[in-house]
Structure 1
Amino acid sequence: MNRLLLLVGFFCCAAGQAQNFELVERQDAYSAGFNQLVRIPLKIKNNTDKAQFYIVRKTKSDLLENQKGYFCLDSKCLESTVNEFSKKVEPGEVINLYYTVESGMLQATNNFKFEVFPKGFPAEQIEHNVLLSVEEHSPRSVYQTRDITINDVYPNPVQDQASIDYKIHNEALKAKIVVHNILGRAMAEYELPSNDTRVKMLVDDFAPGVYFYTVYLNNSGVLTRKIIVRK
């Protein structure tokens, strides 16, 4: 009986420690095209009733020479040489911490390993292994006339920035893209100049969810497609 009580007590303590903090929005695998920014969430949530300092450590990374990786907290990023740092997290707070990867111009498979633990308690660490696959994007046409060719948005789902490749064959054409939410509210608008072939849509300020983009030619909507934002 005493042995059983000890075992029950041990597992209860272990469960309590495991709930002291967590990494929310974890994802183990990502894919990207060339010259893309990939944000790997390392969002720490403090489940205790006291402020805690947490150690964040990158223990594995096999980036190529044409790639770059660095930690970012909100919009502030650290130097790429920083592999470990500490951050104070208030009770119930979730910090917007990411490891950002510049995917580069070569096909690659990158492996990362991160460790997070309360300062002074390395035995309580959470390990997070991540796989990133970088491949050349193969454009897929979704709208084509004698005036314009438009390829599908990529990547989709998107975290920070998505791109649409296009080609205007008629320089007199006025083209633009409007991004709107599911209620129809316009969130962003981008002109498509005839002397360019790619438009970049910034969604880092968007809340996660489903959005739509509509292509307008001479102020007439000709195409609407879905885009998913994930954080």
Structure 2
Amino acid sequence: MRQILLILACLIMLPWYSWGQVRVLSENTNFTGKIGTTQRKSLIIQNESSQAKEYALRSLKGNVGSSQNLKVCLGDKCFDPKRELGKIKFTLGPGEIYTDLYLELDLGISEVRGSFDLQFIQGTNSRDMFTIEAVYDVYAPNASDTMHKDISLGEIYPNPSNRIAQIDYEYKNPNATAKIVVNSFIGNPIAEYQLDPLQKSLAINVANLNPGIYFYTLFVDNKNIVTKKLVVKK
């Protein structure tokens, strides 16, 4: 009994080490877009331990197409994980939430679906690591996309939707003013969204809308350009 108590006392006096106490707070990383476009996703990482830790990218696994270009960005500095693996590292303070990690993906020149994983590790300790999982879906532009002299607008997707519906767009004239107006089936206004020339997509939260048919209209410089249908389901 005395030996057991002695062992327990020694364990209590040893420095405390934690394994795998970094959590990825951001949602699943999903790149969905048209051929030839580029998307940037923000990642949020939290160090849940009481120690400062430095993590480095250990490996890139999965399939990134030959026409696609993946970059891992730490703040304003971006790196090619295939060629600059050793340069991608950052330090997390105790309890720190890190928000300067981004993935940027050029979607390439062909329709394709795939996935890849980025594995980060603390030093040489293979037990203290975390993984970023990402999927991508590249599709060709629809013939029904709206082409205007000042802006091009894609079809809303997914449609029907029960959570988030997204519209991809691209400004040709950054001085133009464009907006999306959502109306109910009988024409009552539901929401209005100004389109930002510096962005490429608009996310519309439909989770709080009743199931049914809605319409969204593109206005450019206050002129009605096109109206299309959005179906909300539960």
Tell me the TM-score range normalised by the shorter chain: 0.5 to 0.7
TM-score normalised by structure 2 residue count: 0.57
Give the Cα–Cα distance (whole angstroms) in 2 for the partners of residues 99 and 218 of structure 1. 34
- The residue that corresponds to 1:105 in the other structure is 109
Question: In the alignment, is residue 138 of structure 1 matched against residue 142 of structure 2?
Answer: yes
Q: Per the alignment, in what secondary structure is the counterpart of residue 104 of structure 1?
A: coil
Give the Cα–Cα distance (whole angstroms) in 2 for the partners of residues 79 and 28 of structure 1. 18
- The residue that corresponds to 1:57 in the other structure is 58
- The residue that corresponds to 1:171 in the other structure is none
Aligned residues: 187
Q: Per the alignment, in what secondary structure is the counterpart of residue 106 of structure 1?
A: coil
- The residue that corresponds to 2:120 in the other structure is 116
**Among 127, 131, 147, the residue aligned to 2:131:** 127
Any conservation in 2 of the 1:26–1:41 contact (CA below 8 Å)?
no
**Among 91, 114, 131, the residue aligned to 1:88:** 91
Give the Cα–Cα distance (whole angstroms) in 2 for the partners of residues 17 and 76 of structure 1. 29
- The residue that corresponds to 1:25 in the other structure is 26
Question: Which stretches of structure 1, 4 residues or more, deviate above 6 A after TM superposition?
Answer: 147-150, 154-159, 182-185, 222-225
Deviation, 1:152, is 3.5
- The residue that corresponds to 1:152 in the other structure is 154
Any conservation in 1 of the 2:153–2:168 contact (CA below 8 Å)?
no
Q: Per the alignment, in what secondary structure is the counterpart of residue 98 of structure 2?
A: coil
Deviations 1:96-137 (A, max 9, x none): 312221011112233312112333422122234333221212
Deviation, 1:214, is 6.8
Give the Cα–Cα distance (whole angstroms) in 2 for the partners of residues 148 and 41 of structure 1. 29
Any conservation in 2 of the 1:21–1:45 contact (CA below 8 Å)?
yes
- The residue that corresponds to 1:39 in the other structure is 40
Flag the 1:111–1:148 CA change in 2: closer, same or farther, 3 A. Answer: closer
Any conservation in 2 of the 1:34–1:105 contact (CA below 8 Å)?
yes
Deviation, 1:217, is 4.9
Any conservation in 1 of the 2:179–2:194 contact (CA below 8 Å)?
yes
Matched AA of 1:82:
E
Any conservation in 2 of the 1:162–1:202 contact (CA below 8 Å)?
no
Any conservation in 2 of the 1:29–1:131 contact (CA below 8 Å)?
yes
TM-score normalised by structure 1 residue count: 0.58
Deviation, 1:50, is 3.1
Matched AA of 2:79:
L
Deviation, 1:93, is 2.3
Any conservation in 2 of the 1:72–1:99 contact (CA below 8 Å)?
yes
Any unmatched runs of 5+ in structure 2? 5-17, 159-163, 182-189, 207-215, 229-234
Give the Cα–Cα distance (whole angstroms) in 2 for the partners of residues 151 and 185 of structure 1. 14
Flag the 1:50–1:153 CA change in 2: closer, same or farther, 3 A. Answer: farther
Give the Cα–Cα distance (whole angstroms) in 2 for the partners of residues 25 and 72 of structure 1. 16
Flag the 1:175–1:72 CA change in 2: closer, same or farther, 3 A. Answer: closer
- The residue that corresponds to 1:163 in the other structure is 169
Deviations 1:23-43 (A, max 9, x none): 121416432211122335543
Any conservation in 1 of the 2:169–2:200 contact (CA below 8 Å)?
no
Any conservation in 2 of the 1:139–1:151 contact (CA below 8 Å)?
no
Percent identity, please: 14
Give the Cα–Cα distance (whole angstroms) in 2 for the partners of residues 219 and 31 of structure 1. 30
Deviations 1:178-223 (A, max 9, x none): 479x9979674x5xxxxxxxxxx5169x9x8759x97445644666
